[in-house]
Amino acid sequence: MKRSLFSRLPVVHQLRQSVGLQRGMLVVGLVITAVFVICALFAQLIAPYGFSQLRDANGQFGAQQAPSAEHIWGTTVSGYDVFSRVIWGAQTALEVMVVAVILSIFVGVFLGLVSGYFGGWLDRILVVLADAIYAFPSLLLAIVMSIVISGGQSNLYGGILAAAISITVVYIPQYFRVIRSETVRIKGGAFVESAKVIGASNTRIMVRHVLRNSTRTLPLIFTLNASEAVLTLAGLGFLGFGIEPTAAAEWGFDLNKSLSDVTSGIWWTAVFPGLAIVLSVLGVTLVGESLNDLADPRLRGRRAVAAAAGDVAATSVVPGGTLEAGPGGLAGLEGGGDFDDSGTRVHTDRSTS
C-alpha cells in the first residue's frame, strides 16, 4: 500500500479519498480559495488600476460611474475603480489571515502543550484566562485592540497589524484549548508512559511524542480561523476601525462607504465587495469543513460495495503468529489496509469487539 509522495500531500490525499457530495464541497471550496489566493498574489497584474488611483491619462474616473468598458464594475462614491479595489482587497485579506494565524498558532500551541502536559496551577490559570477571553465579544475586543495598537491612525502595516493582532488575541484560546485537550488525552496514552519508564525527559516527551501526535486537528482550526479573520477584518473596516483607502484596499471599508448608494439604486459599489467577502469566507470554510469530515472515518463517505464483493479479510493472526507474508501476515488486512493515514482504525468487522 505504498502511495506516491504526491498523493500523500495533505489536501491532495483527502481529495482522492473523498466521494460524492463531500468531494463536491471540497472541490468547490478549493477552487474558490485558489481564485482568492491568485487574486491576492497577482493583484498588481490582474487589477487594471491601483487601489488608491483616482485618475489616469484620460483624467478623473468620476464618482459612482456605472459599469462600463473602462471600469467593468463601475466606480465608488470616492471615485475609485471597484474592480481594482476588490482585487487589491484580496491581498489585504490574505495578509491579515497569514499574520493572524501565524501569530496565534505558535503561542496557542506552546501554551496548550505546556498547560496540558504539566497541569497544576499553571493549567488552571491559563484555562480560566482562555475562558474569560471567550466570554468577551470578539469584535469588541478587536476594536479595543485596534485602537490601542494604532491609536486611531491607520496606515497599511499599522492597519494590518492592528487587525491581525486583535484577531490573534481572540484565537490564541482556540488553539490553546484544542492542543491542551489533545495533550491531556495523549499524555495518558501508553506510549507516553513507556517513554517515561525508559527515562525520557519531559522536553523530549513533549516534543517527540506529544506534540507530533496532537497537531492532527490544526489544519481544520487553521482554515476555520482564516475565514473568521476575513470576517473580523471586514467588520472592523465596516465600523470605521479599518485601513484608510489610501493605505490599502479593504472590503469592509468599501461596504461602509457604499451604504448610502444602495438606497439610490447604485448597486455595484456594494455588491462586489460584499460578494468578495462572502465567497472568500465560503471557500475557506468549505475546505475546512470537508477536511474535518474526511478526517473522521465515521463521517467520511465511501462508495457502496456490491454484495459479496472483495476478498476475505485475513484474520489478524494465524496459529503461532506468522512472520512471512500470507493470510494474517503482512499482506493481510493487518498490513495497514484497515487503517487510515492518521492511524485510526476504520471499519473492520471487529468494530464492537
Partner 1 sequence: MTTTPRNVVAIENLEVSFSTDAGAIKAVDRVSLSVAAGEVLAIVGESGSGKTVTAKSILGLLPETATARGAIVLSSRDGSSGNDVVSLSKKQLRGIRGSDVSMVFQEPSTALNPVYTVGWQIAEGLRAHGTYTRAEAKAKAIEILGRVGIPDPETRVNHYPHQFSGGQKQRVVIAQALVLDPGLIVADEPTTALDVTVQAEILDLLRRCRDEFGAAIVLITHNMGVVADLADRVAVMYQGRVVEEASAVSLFANPQNDYTKKLLASVPHIGQGALQTAARASGRADAWENAAPVVVAKGLRIEYPGRFGRGGFVAVDGVDFEIRAGEVLGLVGESGSGKTTIGRAIGGLTTVTGGSLSVLDHEMNGIRERTFKKVRSDIGFVFQDPASSFNPLLTIADCVAEPLVIHGRAENPRAARARVDELLEAVQLPKSYGDRFPHELSGGQRQRASLARAIALEPSLLIADEPTSALDVSVQARVLELFAELQREFGFAALFISHDLAVVDLLADRIAVLYKGKLVEEGTGAEVLGAPQHPYTRRLLASLPVPDPIEQASRREALRALRATEA
185 counts as binding partner 1 under rule CB under 8 A: no
62 counts as binding partner 1 under rule CB under 8 A: no
Give the cell for residue 87: 482585487
Cβ closest to partner 1, residue 135 vs residue 304: 304
Q: Of 29, 108, 116, 328, which one interacts with partner 1 (CB under 8 A)?
A: 328
Q: Which residues within the stretch 10-29 sit at the binding site for partner 1 (CB under 8 A)?
A: 17
Give the cell for residue 213: 501526535
199 counts as binding partner 1 under rule CB under 8 A: yes
CA distance 339 to 41: 38
Phi-psi region of 281 (alpha: psi -120 to 50; beta: other; left: phi over 0): alpha
348 counts as binding partner 1 under rule CB under 8 A: yes
Phi, psi of 52 (to 5 degrees): -115, 20
Binding window for partner 1 (CB under 8 A); candidates: 94-102, 155-163, 257-265, 336-344:
336-344
CA distance 90 to 85: 9
Q: Provide the minimum distance between the beta carbon of 175 and partner 1 in the complex, in angstroms, as a whole number.
A: 20
Q: Provide the minimum distance between the beta carbon of 295 and partner 1 in the complex, in angstroms, as a whole number.
A: 12
Cβ closest to partner 1, residue 55 vs residue 204: 204
Binding window for partner 1 (CB under 8 A); candidates: 39-47, 63-71, 87-95, 339-347:
339-347
CA distance 353 to 345: 13
Q: Of 130, 178, 287, 314, which one interacts with partner 1 (CB under 8 A)?
A: 314
Q: How big is the site for partner 1, counted in residues (CB under 8 A)?
A: 61
Q: Of 75, 319, 326, 331, which one interacts with partner 1 (CB under 8 A)?
A: 319
CA 79 to each of CA 65, 138, 154: distance values in angstroms, whole numbers, following the listed order: 8, 33, 21
Phi-psi region of 301 (alpha: psi -120 to 50; beta: other; left: phi over 0): beta
Give the cell for residue 252: 469592509
Binding window for partner 1 (CB under 8 A); candidates: 65-73, 107-115, 127-135, 300-308:
300-308
CA distance 217 to 83: 37
Determine the distance from the C-alpha atom of residue 74 to the mean position of all C-alpha atoms in its chain, rounded to a whole number: 32
Helix (H) or strand (E) holding 56: strand 55-56
Q: Of 71, 177, 180, 209, which one interacts with partner 1 (CB under 8 A)?
A: 209
Phi, psi of 203 (to 5 degrees): -60, -45
194 counts as binding partner 1 under rule CB under 8 A: yes
Q: Of 44, 60, 153, 315, which one interacts with partner 1 (CB under 8 A)?
A: 315
Q: Which residues contact partner 1 (rule: CB under 8 A)?
A: 1, 17, 189-191, 193-201, 204, 208-209, 212-213, 297, 302-321, 323, 327-329, 333-340, 343, 346-353
